Chain A
Amino acid sequence: MAGLLGIILQRLLLGIATLFAVSIIIFVAVNALPGDFAQSILGQGATPEAVEAIRNQLGLNESPPTRYFKWLLGAVQGDLGIPMSQALFQSFTGSSTGGDVVTVFDQIIPRLKNTMFLAGVSAAISVPLAVTLGILTALFRNTAFDKAMNVSTLSAISSPEFFLAYILILFLAVLNPVFPSLSNIFPGMEFGDRLNKTMLPALTLTLAVTAQMMRMTRAAIINLLASPYIEMARLKGLSPMRVIVKHALPNALAPIITVVALNLAYLVTGVVVVEVVFVYPGIGQLFVDSVKIRDIPVVQACCLIFAAVYILLNLTADVLSIISNPRLRHPK
């Protein structure tokens, strides 16, 4: 087990190094965006003096490396800065003495929680569904059922998400009003109510991610069916279902876990379109809004969170793959 801890620690350090590299890319990319916050908030008629004043106030006139290191220094201390929109609001109304300062964290955390909730619901539906379908299609490979499942999941993954979203709205909200088409969730909501309103975006995401996980499960299992130990299991007179679930699946876990992790990461970082369609107050919406007004601290923070989610989920997948292999779990 000491070996496993060592591996986790090593991957964690590598993850931090990756995050650091990503932070540079994010900073450069965000700063390469045309236009700036001062210009976009003041509009066409702004005087150059006013623009310059705001730029000075926000520190936008400092050199990029200086701004990067200030940002990085703040970020490692857990301070992602103050949204430009908030800063501006306070200085113009002159109420900064009274009200609380709204930081990037304050703005992101509730949105992130919402997105995590949506991702959690989607994952709770899609992962068991995909793995079960993968097992069943492997069991009934090359039958009509197998082909029907492959065609339908592939069609789902090939269609644009907004299209899937509108189809679901049409059938589950308009023609048969089962779920609401608008996901206006807010803090303090009942869990059941929240779940009900999250259902349509979650189903859309399920359609988008199931195909890949299912096909990988199917392929990983079928890949093993020619192994001598599968033949042995069959020659012991075990049922086909038992052969697959008990003998093939445990050995196919590593590739399945990897694909599941990648898709879970997508559920957190790739939800922008779905959130926009259902007006779901998640981090994707916030991200798009912030890019529109060039609110750089928020954009950077969102990117950093997305990167961290990817790295963490892949780290988890690596560790789980190792745990699923008895050779690594129980060395000689």
Chain B
Amino acid sequence: MAKILLEMKNITKTFPGVKALDNVNLQVEEGEIHALVGENGAGKSTLMNVLSGIYPHGTYEGDIIYDGKVCRFSTIKDSEKLGIVIIHQELALVPEMTIGENMYLGNECGHKFAINWNQTYAEADKYLKMVGLTESSKVQVKTIGTGKQQLVEIAKALAKKARLLILDEPTSSLNEEDSRALLDLMLSFKKQGMTMIIITHKLNEVAYVADKITVIRDGSTIETIDNHGQEPVSEERIIKGMVGREITNRFPKREGVQIGDVKMEVSHWTSHHPLYPEKKVVDDVSFYVREGEVVGIYGLMGAGRTELAMSIFGQSYGVNFSGELKLNGQHVKLRKSEADAIRHKIAYVTEDRKGNGLVLSQSIKVNTSLANLGAVSSHTVIDGDKEYAVAEEYRDKLKIKTPSVEQLVGNLSGGNQQKVLLAKWMFAEPDILLLDEPTRGIDVGAKYEIYCIINDLAAAGKCVVLISSELPEVLGMSDRIYIMNEAKIIGEMKAEDATQESIMAAILRSGRGA
């Protein structure tokens, strides 16, 4: 048995009113990749914050034993000195600065008052090569893509002489290709003896990369699963640990599907990048949606799905539009106005709920009514009681877990925030809902509830366009699937004919053809 590098013993961490961690135990062997999984709010990030000294010694109970010694970190610097480096979910790079400057930010080469830039860039280039990047370290971070930025983060961690690398949701903003490359990089580090902890929601990644899987639920360790068997651990097996029950069907069945006439038809839809007008972000796209139908649009990140949806929704993204939009068989000329789109009963539920969707500093009530204030007011004067009643109605309908609809949205969990966002758009009473990644970053239980809401919407005769980069989700939820790649729709499949393999194959074929 290999040496145990890290042992966290009986860690208990309480926040005012909440026990975030309750007697958590974690053992990580040297040279292994250890996956930490659990629903949102289960305590994974809190545990890693305890380990890295963000929550200093004394604010938690229990012991951290690293490399045979009991450690008491009071700052991140203390843990980094021992080679424990954490890469956070949100990239912490300064876009205007160069890669090299970023990598040595706070850890500058040479003297504090005389930075040795030659050494900085030489060292930085060395580490960039190790993570497989060919860019010069003198390039500004904002000029490289998110996938590469993630690699820069890892190079930055290596520059800190990491022995134990903690990656918090490293692939959440990456497409499948970049994700796979990152996971392979992790495997190659493992061969060189690096120890890693990965926190992730994507269970296929866990099965692919991890040696051991520790499941955390409600602040306690549930089990540690060994992933050394002949067969990789099945996702169902992990989910069972995470939610405490076996989810036999991750996608609720729809009863009595009634699909009506074509409601919205888009043809030869084209739009261009707002900054580089010569670049097409949506290229000659045609598709239609029928009443009561859930249409999936699958594509890798950057395929143009969000751009398509937003350009239909009041031209809120892009320039130089062309193409035709028909609603109920009637030709409609939509102006560049979100309000106009809402009047035509189109709703766009953004993929970025914090950035583009919700006003976090305001209450659930205020957010719910925001897109349809007219319905709760007369002559622009808001009827506060009516508004409250509406918010309560949607809170019940969507099972938003909150003590009160006066609660600030910023204080809710991701899943509940997503429900508030859905409530807002359902209250706008649209016929057509463009749902962009409606289950991104939320836990399995909340996902299931969102799926049920989607099914209810379809059953009520609404048209749902489900944009997603999770293949099982598109396959499990849609009646029909469009596949997008490089700004074009490259295929259409009926749900019963489509498989993960056939969709991926279509994308690969189109990539070669181009």
A is bound by B: no
A residues neighboring B (CB under 8 Å):
none
